[in-house]
């Protein structure tokens, strides 16, 4: 049975990371000492669930965690520093700290190193998340031990519910834009001012105005969607932000 380490100190490990093309040693003390940190660990960079759901949602909610007493959100995987850095770039995971547990020492110390040789992975981390305060594990969400890659309890929303039970997770925001469009720039500025994390879909040869017409019922950019609901262009977005209390109404001269 995989051990629950609640109430225990995290392992004393030095991670070999890369920054500005240089090797940089990062210790567990660097990551956790005097801090409140959310950690999620997963089987591998670029793998399906890790790339499509686990990491992206933690990236989306990182600022919400940080607004509710968390100093950092850390992803740990048994991969080398080069792989973790490139994965972070591909995922645009600018809100997270990605840590390579290349030799699996941290995962082993947590009791979470498992054998995935049947998949050609060798030793990897079991999927879990935890809240760590000043180096001591306060809470762990460990996926159930069964075949495959269960993903039921280590997700970002479950952790947010534990950290801040009265906080509602922000709805996902997507904005369709066109290069050089001033209205698109204004809409993005309003979203940034409101502190809303968004995914930008740039109209191109792959995603055209015809695509936008099919999706949004309008071929002009920008088009904003929040939680699957169409908001519309920049003026509609401004009205929605005012109504939502995320922006003050303009005062007529």
Give strand pairing partners of 36: 133
- pLDDT one digit per residue (tens) for the chain, 253 residues: 899 999 999 999 999 999 999 999 999 999 999 999 999 999 999 999 999 999 999 999 999 999 999 999 999 999 999 999 999 999 999 999 999 999 999 999 999 999 999 999 999 999 999 999 999 999 999 999 998 899 999 999 999 999 999 998 888 899 999 999 999 999 999 999 988 888 899 999 788 888 899 988 998 999 999 988 999 999 999 999 999 898 887 654 4
Fold: same for 14-163 and 173-243:
yes
**Domain range list for the chain:** 14-163, 173-243
Distance CA 103, CA 124 (A): 9
Q: So what's the architecture of 173-243 in CATH?
A: 3-Layer(aba) Sandwich (3.40)
Question: 14-163 in CATH: which number?
Answer: 3.40.30.10
Q: Is 50 a catalytic residue?
A: yes
Smallest Cα–Cα separation from 19: which of 97, 79, 129, 77? 97
Q: What is the pTM of this model?
A: 0.82
Return all residues near 12 (Cβ < 8 A) that are at least 6 apart.
Answer: 27, 28, 29, 109
């Amino acid at each position: 049975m995989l051990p629950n380490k609640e109430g225990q100190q995290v392992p004393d490990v030095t991670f070999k990371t890369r920054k500005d093309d240089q090797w940089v040693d990062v210790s567990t003390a660097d990551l956790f000492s005097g801090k409140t940190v959310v950690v999620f660990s997963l089987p591998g960079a670029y793998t399906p669930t890790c790339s499509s759901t686990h990491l992206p949602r933690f990236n989306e909610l990182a600022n919400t965690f940080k607004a509710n007493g968390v100093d950092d959100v850390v992803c740990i995987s048994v991969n080398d520093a080069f792989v973790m850095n490139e994965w972070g770039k591909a995922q645009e995971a600018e809100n997270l700290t990605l840590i390579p547990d290349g030799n699996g020492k941290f995962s082993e110390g947590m009791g979470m190193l498992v054998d995935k040789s049947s998949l050609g992975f060798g030793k990897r981390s079991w999927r879990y998340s935890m809240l760590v305060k000043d180096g001591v594990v306060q809470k762990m969400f460990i996926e159930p031990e069964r075949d495959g890659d269960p993903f039921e309890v280590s997700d970002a929303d479950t952790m947010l519910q534990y950290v801040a039970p009265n906080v509602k997770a922000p709805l996902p925001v997507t904005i369709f834009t066109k290069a050089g469009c001033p209205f698109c720039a204004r809409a993005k500025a309003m979203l940034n001012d409101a502190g809303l994390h968004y995914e930008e879909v740039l109209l191109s040869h792959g995603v055209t105005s015809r695509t936008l017409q099919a999706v949004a019922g309008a071929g002009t950019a920008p088009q904003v969607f929040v939680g699957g609901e169409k908001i519309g262009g920049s003026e509609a977005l401004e009205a929605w932000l005012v109504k939502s209390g995320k922006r003050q109404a303009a005062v007529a001269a």
